[in-house]
Every structure is written in C-alpha cells, then in structure tokens.
Homo-oligomer: A and B are copies of this chain.
Amino acid sequence: MVESIRRGVSETARLEAFSDGVFAIAITLLVLDIKVPESALHALWKGIADAWPAYLAYVTSFLAIGAVWMQHHGLFSCMRLVDATVMRLNLGLLLTVSFLPFPTGLMAAAITTSRASERAAVVLYGATLIAVNGLLGAMWRYVATHRKLLHSDVTESVFASVERRQIPRVGLFGAATVVGVLLLPRLAVFGFLAVALESVVLARGDRQPGRIEHREP
C-alpha cells in the first residue's frame, strides 16, 4: 500500500466500479427523455409513432455509451494500475458521457422543429461524441506510453493491435457532423446511429488480434 502511495499509483478496481456506475446511470437516464405529450394520450398509436425521434436518439446514445463502456472495459482489462493522470482523463471522459443525455434530448426535440434547429442540435451532439471518443483515445494513448500501468504480459504489439482496432470513432463522428452541417442534418442523425452500431459490433475490449484458433485451456 505504502509502496503504491509512494509510486503514485493504485489498483484499478474502484475506478472501474465508479466508472461503471456513471456509465450505467447515464445510459439509463436516456429513457427519461422519451415522452408522449398528455394531449396525445387519446390517440396513443399516433402519439407513440410521433415520438420516433426520441427512440432514434435513445438507441443512438445507448449504443454510443455501450461502445464506450466496451472499450473502457477492454482498456482496463489490460491495466494493472492507475495513476493520477488516468484518474483525471477518466473523470473528463465521465463528464462528457454523463453530459450526453442533454444533447440527446435536444436532438430528439429539434428534429421536428426546423432544419436550422436540427443543425444546431446535431452539431452539439456530434461535438459531445467527439469529445467522449477523443478523451477515450487520449486514455489509450497515455496508457500505451506508460507501460508500468499495464499487466506485465501485455506486450506492446498486443496492445497496439488492440488499440488500432479500437481506435476511437472521432473521425467517423466528425464526418457525420460535417455531413449534418453541409448537407442534411437528419442524415447526420442516422450517421451517428450507424457509427454507434458499428462501434458495438466491431469494437470491443478483448478482441483477438489475429487469427488464432480457439483451444480449450
């Protein structure tokens, strides 16, 4: 213990637990933005159908946070220790992730308002996702250059190959945002969904870095 105080590091367990808590809450709070106005209760099928932008935003943000959780999980499964910088980068990541419900709700509300509003909402939403994924990328980068934080059996090439496949979706989310600004904002919304879906399907923490047969241990 004293040794780890001296060396300015600590174990990963509690940071993971706290982060998991924030991810889990942010992902679950998203549902609070799905609402059917009271006036629509008398024609409820229409009311349910008219809420489609809220479902779209819900699924997009859910998958985006889910993908971040999977990558976070993957990063920390390589790590043995955390230091102060990791703690601060992680706090920044959590700040942006728990901010996400706000632009999510805004985007859902703006979709049926006007194209200018939709554009503003799409830019704020895209900027938040870029910040989330940028901070995640910064954490990967930082850990890659501070090997004492990694488990001893995680070689550089293993980590690099995992990192490459997990490269944060900054670029793709940025591209979707640009499309939303220059072309149709609504296209950006579906772009975000596509990137988030892709993240969940392709990115993950414990991806095997090559073609390796699955042997029973």
Residues of B within 8 A of A155 (CB): 2
Kindly list chain B residues whose C-beta atoms are within 8 Å of the C-beta of A184: none
Q: Which residue of B lies closest to A8 (CB)?
A: B208
Are A28's CB and B30's CB within 8 A?
no
Q: Name the segment of A130-138, A171-179, A187-195, A209-217 touching the other chain.
A: A209-217
A interface with B by C-beta (< 8 Å): 1-10, 14-18, 20-32, 34, 36, 38, 41-45, 48, 58-59, 62-63, 66, 69-70, 73, 76-78, 83-84, 87-88, 91, 94-95, 98-99, 101-102, 106, 109-110, 113-114, 116-117, 120-121, 124, 148, 151, 153-155, 158, 162, 200-201, 204-209, 212, 214-217
In addition to A29-B29, A43-B116, 8 A-B residue pairs with Cβ atoms within 8 Å of each other are: A17-B17, A31-B99, A41-B113, A42-B117, A43-B117, A63-B95, A66-B94, A91-B200
Residues of chain B lying within 8 A (CB to CB) of residue A76: 14
**How far, in angstroms, from A101 to B27 measured CA to CA in the complex?**
13
Query: A88 to B200, Cβ gap below 8 A?
Result: yes
Residues on B with beta carbons closer than 8 Å to the beta carbon of A9: 206
